[in-house]
A = this chain, B = another copy of it.
Amino acid sequence: MAEPLRIALAGLGTVGAGVIRLLETNAALLRARSGREMRIVAVSARERHKDRGVDLSPFAWVDDMAELAARDDVDVVVELVGGSDGPALALARKAIASDKALVTANKAMVAHHGAELAAAAERAGTALKFEAAVAGGIPVVKALREGAAANAIGRIYGILNGTSNYILSTMEATGAGFGETLAEAQRKGFAEADPAFDIEGTDAAHKLAILAAICFGAEVDFAGVTCEGITRVRAEDIARADTLGYVVRLIGMADLEAGDDGTTALLQRVRPCLVPKGHPLAHVTGATNAVVAEGNFSGRLLFQGAGAGAGPTASAVVADLIDIARGEIGAPFSIPSAEMAPMPRAEAGHRTGRTYLRFTVADRPGVLAEMTAAMRDAGVSIESLIQQGRQEEGGEVLVAMVAHEGPERNVQHALELLRGSDSFTAPPLSMQILGD
């Protein structure tokens, strides 16, 4: 048996404690599969004496986690602290600069600094691995970096945030509103006390930017993700979608666009969409994540599983450790980072699609005429219109429409024409309708 793989663990929260438990529980199996013992030598967190439900006594304790990167008895630093910058980034940089392999679950850091860290790791000839940063326990980074690597990927998309999916699928099952469902998700531990990162789409955008970089060979461009969360989705939208044959899901999607001049541009978006009930993503409920990759030879591939949680995330962290123990380290984003260039951002406006539009309007004559006139003036043709159900409190009425396949720009234009109209009791909501 080869030398043990000596591990330093920074961060002993949900994921960190999960990794310790996994390495302990599955030790024999890991030894068999990786050919080496996986040995934690040192750990760090903020509070030394917090009870974490795991025995830390076999490991050296370090107060300043940056010291982990400097230790001679460490081969791999595992960063499970979090935060795009600050101590996590400092540790990551220092670990790589010290020729240590780095494993991280930190999507925020990889989304913001992935290009820099990958370049540094390649220069140092060491590994940078982040399977746990995307879709928790689903080995989707590996699936794209390696399993589907023979393919030009046409589109990558999926359900990348468990909290949002839990909320949307619970609203679907119960008919309850967003606020009420969020509060319950918080009580049950499916949403954080401060849920903004999840429900505003930021967390999904982090993951999407990482996936897009792997699939399209572009430098990670988190700032280029257009992002819209689920906070404005109402119970009524879900009911209307259901009537029309759809469910509502928060979808992150990225694809390429070839310009007339031979340039290639990248479109990255996170937003709630209507998903046809026959689509595999429509069956993804609860905190589950799922990713679809469309390869030019493989066709549509689907990867599904738990998107978060101590166990699943630890499973992904340790998969990276096994790769490192086996000496399989390769380029972090599949192609060497020197070849990953920043890619121009595509304009969404000329993309075409079918769109769901929902207006909440004052219940008075002429409002429908105002809206349909704006559609007509913007060149949006209406496929169906539902103004139904009970009148809402305060004289508010809900009008839902489906616009025919057409340029998204036109829909945006129609909404601009209507902007500021005093007929609305709340800003309109538009959601893209996903194809089959």
Contact = CB atoms under 8 A, between A and B. Distances in A.
Given A26-B151, A149-B319, A33 B302 contact: no
Contacts of A335: 32-33
A35 interface: yes
B298 A315 contact: yes
A87 interface: no
B315 A326 contact: no
A400 to B, nearest CB: 27
Contact of A146 (B26, B142, B297, B301): B142
Interface string A23-45: 00110011011110000000000
A134 B297 CA distance: 16
A26 to B, nearest CB: 6
Contact of A301 (B22, B305, B314, B339): B305
B152 A147 contact: no
A253 B243 CA distance: 37
A362 B131 CA distance: 60
Q: Looking at chain A, what size class is its interface with the partner chain?
A: 35 or more
Contacts of A217: 29, 32
B32 A148 contact: no
Nearest to A32: B335
Interface string A316-351: 111101110010101000111001000000000000
**A297, A314, A315: most-surrounded residue (chain B CB, <10 A):** A297
Contacts of A22: 150, 297
Given A295-B137, A328-B328, A304 B301 contact: yes
A297 B312 contact: yes
B302 A304 contact: yes
A384 interface: no
A170 B387 CA distance: 38
A312 B299 contact: yes
A18 interface: yes
Interface in A3-35: 18, 22, 25-26, 29-30, 32-35
Interface of A: 18, 22, 25-26, 29-30, 32-35, 131, 137-139, 142-143, 146-152, 217, 280, 283, 290, 295-306, 309, 311-312, 314-319, 321-323, 326, 328, 330, 334-336, 339
27 contacts: A18-B297, A22-B150, A25-B152, A25-B297, A26-B150, A26-B151, A29-B152, A29-B217, A32-B336, A33-B334, A34-B149, A138-B301, A142-B142, A142-B146, A143-B303, A146-B322, A150-B315, A150-B316, A280-B283, A283-B283, A297-B311, A297-B314, A298-B306, A298-B311, A299-B311, A299-B312, A302-B303
The 4 closest A-B pairs by CB, nearest first: A139-B147, A150-B318, A298-B315, A137-B298
